[in-house]
Structure 1
Amino acid sequence: MRLKGFTICSGVLRAGMSLGFEPVEFMESVSVKIIGNSMWPHYKDGQVVDFNRYNGEPIQVGDIIVFNHPFRNEMLLVKRVSTISENSFFVEGDNPDPTSSTDSHNFGSIDISSIIAFRHNHITE
């Protein structure tokens, strides 16, 4: 039995101390390592990609987001936004093989609060 591929990411979120008070996050970007082929051909397995930390900027259809898996919070996913409805996003992998991606077709739309980082649409055709 063939398992569906996940494009997951790993990255380090760093925090700094501001004069001994509350931790202050100072990283403006998040580097992630793509694991899997769901975002092929735009991102390939093993590729490291920089994303902007999400701080409430408008997300648009076509943007690529890093977010917490809706049912496995410890897992991060990288997918492209295909539809926006208020504060929820339908996301899909780029791979044309429908069995290559676990995305909103499997778990439904994701809430805006799940988004960790993003990249504006960078496809040039």
Structure 2
Amino acid sequence: MPERVHARGPGQGEDAEAGPGRGGPLRAFGLAEVYNPSMVPTLQPGDQLVVRYGAAVRPGDVVVLRHPFRQDLLIVKRVVGRRDGGWWVQGDNPFVENDSREFGVVPDELVIARAWVRVRPPRGIQRSVAGVLSWAVSAVRPVRAERSLSRRLRAR
């Protein structure tokens, strides 16, 4: 099953002409929804990502990119490192190989955005203030560069 991400914001659909950086500072941010398990355990299917378009990318970052063979398909991967011609990207789930192990290095122009915050949708109806607060504490997390993970992935 091919991986896909639904993104909303600059560089997507009708907003492609506007691009990041035009129309005010908020135009540099967008939303992406994760559909497949390639980033488990970091990201689950159904997670929402707040992404920043045009942000600098470095090893360990989680990014939204266009699939090199199907550029209408957006995918989420972790940047492992820089190679000749672009970025080497891999998913956090070792059982899913829809990443640079399959399609090679990703050119800079296919990297669309860097993930900034993950929001996990609530499971079921929250009926109390404590339930909502509990969900909020566990569901909203910054997506940070995992240095130890990027070293581990580079060593493979």
Pairwise TM-score range, normalised by the shorter structure:
0.7 to 0.9
User: Is it true that 1:38 corresponds to 2:38 in the alignment?
Assistant: yes
User: Is it true that 1:69 corresponds to 2:61 in the alignment?
Assistant: no
Q: Which structure: larger Rg? A: 2
Q: CA deviation at 1:10?
A: 0.7
| Count of residue correspondences | 111
Give the gaps of 5 or more residues in structure 1: 16-21
Conserved 8 A contact 2:49-2:115:
no
Give the helix-richer structure, 1 or 2: 2
For 1:32-86, what per-residue CA distance to the aligned partner results, in whole angstroms no more than 9, with x for missing partners?
100110000111001111111125x2x1110111111101010001000012125
Greater length-normalized contact order (CA 8 Å, ≥ 6 residues apart) = 1
How many percent of aligned residue pairs carry the same amino acid?
A: 25
Which residue of structure 2 aligns with residue 119 of structure 1?
A: 115
Which residue of structure 1 aligns with residue 93 of structure 2?
A: 95
Give the gaps of 5 or more residues in structure 2: 117-142, 149-156
- Structure-2-length-normalised TM-score: 0.62
Conserved 8 A contact 2:60-2:147:
no
Q: CA RMSD in A?
A: 2.4
- Structure-1-length-normalised TM-score: 0.76
- Secondary structure of 2:64 counterpart: strand
Q: CA deviation at 1:110?
A: 0.2
Give the strand-richer structure, 1 or 2: 1
**Higher mean displacement: 83-92 or 107-116:** 83-92
